[in-house]
Amino acid sequence: MLLLIQIAYWAIRIWVILIFVWAIMSWFRPNPANPLVRIVDSLVEPIMLPFQKLIPPIGGLSLAPLVAVLVLEYINEIFLRALAR
């Protein structure tokens, strides 16, 4: 059980980093044919889609990545508490 919690914790850690990379890449409009862009998009889009549907952009700025990171960090906090037991 401990191993599963650790795997989930690190998977969320990686997703948070990828969300930051994805958000920064969106500022520069990268080539969608780039393999790195495709990989990041394929990993982040499934997580971001529900947040993007719930939270509309405000003045052209999407707050969905921020909310997604906060939710993922909250989930990670739950995992950390489970690891501390």
Kindly report, residue by residue over 17-60, the tens digit of the pLDDT: 999 999 999 888 888 899 999 999 999 999 999 999 999 999 88
d(CA 54, CA 39): 24
Q: What are the b/e assignments for 56-69, b being 16+ CB within 10 Å?
A: eeeeeebebbeebb
Q: Is the pLDDT of residue 83 over 90?
A: no
Task: Output phi, psi for 58, to 5 deg.
Answer: -115, 110
d(CA 78, CA 72): 10
Task: Output phi, psi for 34, to 5 deg.
Answer: -65, 130
